[in-house]
Amino acid sequence: MGTILDRILDQKRKEVELLKSQPVIKSGSTKNITPLYDTLRQSNQLSVIAEIKRASPSKGDINVGMEPPEQAKLYEQSGAKAISVLTDQPFFKGTIEDLKQVRETVQLPVLCKDFIIDQVQIDRAKQAGANVILLIAAALPEEQLKALNDYAISSGLEVLFEVHNEVELKAAESLGAKIIGINNRDLKTFKTDLAVTERLASQIQNPDVMVISESGIKTNEDAKRVFQAGANGILVGETLMKSNNVPDALQQLIV
Ligand SMILES: O=C(O)c1ccccc1NCC(=O)[C@H](O)[C@H](O)COP(=O)(O)O
């Protein structure tokens, strides 16, 4: 029995075969959205990427009753700088339709948060209106990551390149990633530790690289901790999805 990431990737291979058998319209949203990179670069505060996350492998159901457009609007009105939408169905109970609805509702960059292993998923994300896609270093060999990164950029998308250790960080740097996400969650054990951001962010020497600290960020102290470690932004799901006062919870994270 493999890790949860192995199981997710097995599922993605099946999904990709299905997608390839369907026609894909190669167009996307025509909205004029400020790129995530520019937003991060221009801010001297911690930018919050607020996530639409119904459920997860580590936590089970988080907030399955939420309506993505309403939640995304609330995030935008509360000061989020981008919206992440988990579009994986089997493990996170998300859909690509969620992303389409969010795109129609907000003026912020929208991140397609999925496990991308093939160009056809990038086409689908773009067609649904995503501005940013996620590439996870742990998911693929370096040359495939490079090919997908190049394809996404040539399609007019931004890439959030996710790493969890030094080897993955080197891969991100060698393919010229402009936005690096440091995942505090170990995808094998599900343990989250903000020390991962502290350790890896200090090794990023290029001031043009924007750093996002991902997972396990809950409090104002957590936000301050990763900001001091060098993060330009944070990706927050569970805390915001569970909150019954999103404006207040989000404001606590803008430091
Ligand atoms: O959240 C999980 O359990 C998970 C398990 C396996 C792969 C990915 C997983 N999460 C995706 C994410 O990156 C998070 O949704 C995101 O960083 C927000 O994390 P959090 O604020 O802790 O909900």
pLDDT computed for residue 237 by the predictor: 98
Chain segment 19-38, per-residue pLDDT in tens? 999 986 777 667 899 999 99
- pTM, two decimals, is 0.97
**Predicted local distance difference test score (pLDDT) of residue 98:** 98
Residues of the chain falling short of pLDDT 50 = none
* Tally of domains in the chain: 1
Query: Residue 50 is encoded by which pair of tokens?
Result: 């607020």
Q: Is 51 in the pocket of ligand 1 (CB under 6 A)?
A: yes
Residue with tokens 């457009």: 69
**What pLDDT does 108 receive?**
98
165 found inside a domain: yes
What's 240's domain CATH number? 3.20.20.70
| Integer Cα distance of 74 and 80 in angstroms | 9
One-letter amino acid identity for 147? Answer: A
Asked, for residue 78, whether it belongs to a domain, the answer is yes
Residue 25 in any domain: the answer is no
Distance 237 CA to ligand 1 centre (A): 7
The per-residue b/e assignment along 21-33, b for 16 or more CB within 10 angstroms, e otherwise, is eeeeeeebbeeeb
Q: Which long-range contacts (CB under 8 A, 24 or more apart) does 209-212 make?
A: 209/173, 209/177, 209/178, 209/179, 209/180, 210/37, 210/40, 210/41, 210/178, 210/179, 210/180, 211/180, 211/181, 211/182, 212/40, 212/49, 212/160, 212/179, 212/180, 212/181, 212/182
Residue type at 238?
E
Tell which one of 215, 217, 239 to mutate to probe ligand 1, the residue whose CB is within 8 A of the most ligand atoms.
215
Residue 68 lies in a domain: yes
Decide if 197 contacts 213 (C-beta within 8 A).
yes
Cα of 77 vs centre of ligand 1, distance in Å, is 23
Q: What is the pLDDT of residue 24?
A: 67
pLDDT value of residue 23? 82
Residue 180 placed within a domain? yes
Residue 76 lies in a domain: yes
What's the confidence (pLDDT) of residue 80? 98
Query: Can you tell me which atom of ligand 1 is nearest the CA of 56?
Result: 3
The residue range of the domain holding 227 is 4-20+36-253
In a domain, 186, yes or no: yes
The verdict on residue 80 lying in a domain is yes
What would the pLDDT profile of 125-179 be if each residue is shown by its tens digit?
999 999 999 999 999 999 999 999 999 999 999 999 999 999 999 999 999 999 9
Give which of 109, 85, 98, 87 is closest to 31, Cα–Cα.
109
